[in-house]
């Protein structure tokens, strides 16, 4: 039986199972320091492209450039796809045209489009020149679609078959084809006008007899994505209907590409990250590798907004200056009421923003959700009112003061629950991102209502 000291390394290994090994990073950087290219390649070769991208993001700019130059021709296009957007342009600039051309040549069209979107025109031309004419035409066509649309997200490499084919014909086609995508999950069945009519999974294809018609094997769930759909809608469709891949059609309903689950889930992950950052008043473009000045510029405007809301709350307090000077206990207890309201409002706000993003909060259930949040605020308010009433009585020996803070607590938590739902919904109706702007409004409401309710009740009851 292992003792405690023997078990600890195993726990550390489990926690760091998907992290870069510190010893491995040190070995890689040592190979860079002594400029041993063979050793560097031997150390880097077993790593996944995502791990190499993480390594490049974690080291400083000087070491990053040295590593890239020494790695040379071994640099893979998948590494560029995994890199954070904020570093991608820098890394591409450090690659020689020959290495860059080789890196992007084997990428799917959607990955090439993703690379090009954030680059300046000269760097875009370098990558486009590295592609074959047919691939370049496909990428340039994708770039004509609106940013953040299905047309930008899709890959042009599609495996399709006419609806009259049988399994044997499809298998023979696949075996004889030289330009199949590296990964695909379905064969898209199309009619004579190249309009998709169904998907056949590779599992069903390989498990059926040769004479079986493809159209008899199509999946029940079949979702067609218009090329102009916003990528958030695409990610929602994949998540809602449990899609693995979906064909993309143009304005004439003709098949022009396919979106796979990895790209859809990447969008979903980006949107979740964006919502979290915006709820905290942080730009969704913020990265750990950003410079101090860039990070400061992004955060300053929202700190300025918070300052304005804090001034508004202070103006409310200023109206009760005389009452506070007479009953000093009010100054001690004020932050408790505001803090509880702010936390309760943030809880409701987070639920609302998430529900809006997943389309779970709609006009049909809005009033039910509002009633639920108000009732939750009421129940929590009463519970904490009892606690704070007792605290006020024991701490300051004043039953009246205990009653005042108890009543203010109930009022503020009810208002917090209401504001946390109504404000993001109202902002969305007005065309404003609720994740970006709701926090400041909810905090202002709970602070102002909390201070006004507590101090106003104190003036009426205690003075």
Q: How far is CA 232 from the centre of its chain?
A: 10
pLDDT of residue 5: 42
Read off the tokens for 51. 């791990």
Rounded CA-CA distance 80/31 in Å is 22
Q: Say how many CA atoms lie within 13 Å of 13 toward its Cβ.
A: 5
Is 186 within 8 Å of 201 (Cβ atoms)?
A: yes
- Residue 253 tokens, joined: 């309903």
Of 454, 435, 410, 442, which is closest to residue 343 (Cα–Cα)? 442
Q: How confident is the model at residue 4 (pLDDT cuts 50, 70, 90)?
A: very low
Taking only the tens place, the pLDDT of each residue in 212-260 is: 999 999 998 899 999 999 988 898 888 888 899 999 999 999 999 999 9
Q: Which CATH number fits domain 292-462: 2.40.50.220, 1.10.357.20, 3.90.1570.10, 3.20.20.70?
A: 1.10.357.20
- Residue 337 has which token pair? 């009421």
Neighbours of 160 (CB within 10 A): 15
| pLDDT score, position 330 | 82
Classify domain 160-279 at the CATH superfamily level: CBS-domain (3.10.580.10)
pLDDT band, residue 272 (cuts 50/70/90): low
Run of H or E residues at 268: helix 261-279
Whether pTM > 0.75 for this model: the answer is no
pLDDT score, position 6: 41
In sign, the C-alpha dihedral spanning 454, 460, 461, 463 is positive
* Region 337-359 average pLDDT: 81
What the block records as the tokens of 19 is: 């992290």
169: Cβ–Cβ under 8 A, 6 or more apart, which residues? 161
- Find all residues with CB under 8 Å of 226, minimum gap 6, and list them: 150, 248, 249
| Helices (H) then strands (E): counts for the chain | 22, 6
How high is the pLDDT of residue 218? 93
What residues does 247 pair with on adjacent strands? 258
Q: Which CATH superfamily is domain 18-144 in?
A: MgtE N-terminal domain-like (1.25.60.10)
* pLDDT of 187 strictly over 90: yes
Residues 124-142 have a mean pLDDT of 81
Q: At 73, phi and psi to the nearest 5?
A: -65, -15
Task: Pick the more confident residue, 16 or 292.
Answer: 292
Per the CB < 8 A criterion, the answer to whether 423 and 349 are in contact is yes
| Residue 393 contacts residue 322 (beta carbons within 8 Å) | no
Q: Are 197 and 163 in contact (CB under 8 A)?
A: yes
Mean pLDDT of 330-348: 83
Residue ranges matching CATH 1.10.357.20 in the chain: 292-462
- Residues 289 and 107: their CA atoms lie apart, in Å, by 26
DSSP 226: E
Domain(s) labelled CATH 3.10.580.10 in the chain stretch across 160-279
Residue 190: strand pairing partners = 162, 196
Beta bridge partners of 255: 249
d(CA 274, CA 410): 33
**SS3 string of 162-219?**
ECCCEHHHHHHHHHHCCCCCCCCCEEEEECCCCCEEEEEEHHHHHCCCCCCEHHHCCC
What are the tokens at 419? 């504001």
Choose from 12-26, 328-342, 369-383, 431-445 the range with maximum mean pLDDT: 369-383
Q: What does the pLDDT read at residue 214?
A: 94
Average pLDDT over residues 167-195: 91
Where does the chain hold its CATH 1.25.60.10 domain(s)?
18-144
The answer for residues whose C-beta is within 8 angstroms of residue 76's C-beta and 6 or more apart is 49, 52, 103
User: How do strand 245-249 and strand 160-162 relate by DSSP bridges?
Assistant: unpaired
């Amino acid at each position: 039986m292992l003792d405690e000291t023997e078990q600890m390394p195993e726990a550390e290994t489990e926690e760091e199972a998907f992290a870069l090994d510190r010893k491995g990073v040190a070995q890689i950087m040592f190979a860079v320091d002594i400029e041993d290219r063979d050793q560097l390649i031997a150390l880097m070769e077993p790593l996944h492209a995502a791990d190499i991208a993480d390594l490049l993001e974690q080291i400083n700019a000087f070491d990053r450039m040295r590593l890239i130059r020494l790695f040379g021709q071994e640099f893979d296009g998948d590494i560029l796809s995994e890199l954070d957007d904020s570093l991608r342009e820098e890394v591409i600039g450090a690659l020689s045209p020959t290495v860059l051309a080789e890196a992007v040549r084997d990428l799917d069209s959607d990955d090439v489009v993703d690379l090009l979107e954030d680059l300046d025109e000269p760097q875009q031309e370098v990558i486009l020149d590295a592609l074959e004419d047919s691939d370049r035409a496909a990428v340039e066509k994708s770039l004509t679609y609106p940013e953040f649309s299905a047309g930008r997200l899709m890959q042009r490499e599609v495996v399709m078959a006419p609806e009259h084919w049988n399994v044997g014909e499809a298998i023979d086609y696949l075996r004889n084809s030289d330009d199949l995508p590296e990964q695909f999950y379905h064969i898209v069945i199309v009619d004579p006008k190249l309009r998709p009519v169904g998907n056949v999974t590779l599992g069903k294809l390989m498990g059926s007899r040769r004479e079986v018609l493809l159209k008899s094997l199509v999946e029940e769930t079949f979702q067609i994505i218009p090329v102009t759909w916003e990528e958030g809608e695409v990610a929602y469709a994949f998540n809602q209907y449990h899609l693995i891949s979906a064909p993309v059609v143009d304005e004439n309903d003709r098949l022009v590409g396919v979106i796979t689950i990895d790209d859809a889930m990447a969008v979903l992950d980006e949107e979740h990250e964006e919502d979290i950052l915006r709820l905290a008043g942080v730009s969704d473009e913020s990265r750990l590798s950003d410079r101090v000045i860039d990070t400061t510029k992004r955060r300053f405007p929202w700190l300025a907004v918070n300052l304005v809301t804090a001034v508004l709350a202070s103006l409310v307090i200023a109206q009760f200056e005389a009452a506070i000077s007479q009953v000093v206990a009010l100054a001690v207890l004020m932050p408790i009421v505001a803090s509880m309201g702010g936390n309760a409002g943030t809880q409701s706000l987070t639920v609302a923003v998430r529900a809006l993003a997943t389309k779970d909060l709609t006009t049909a259930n809005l009033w039910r959700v509002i009633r639920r949040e108000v009732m939750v605020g009421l129940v929590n308010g009463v519970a904490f009112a009892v606690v704070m009433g007792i605290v006020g009585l024991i701490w300051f020996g004043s039953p009246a003061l205990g009653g005042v803070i108890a009543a203010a607590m109930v009022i503020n938590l009810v208002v917090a629950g209401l504001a946390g739902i109504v404000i993001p919904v109202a902002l969305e109706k007005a065309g404003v991102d609720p994740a970006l702007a709701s926090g400041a409004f909810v905090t202002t409401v709970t602070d102002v209502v909390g201070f006004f309710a507590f101090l106003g009740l104190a003036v009426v009851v205690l003075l």
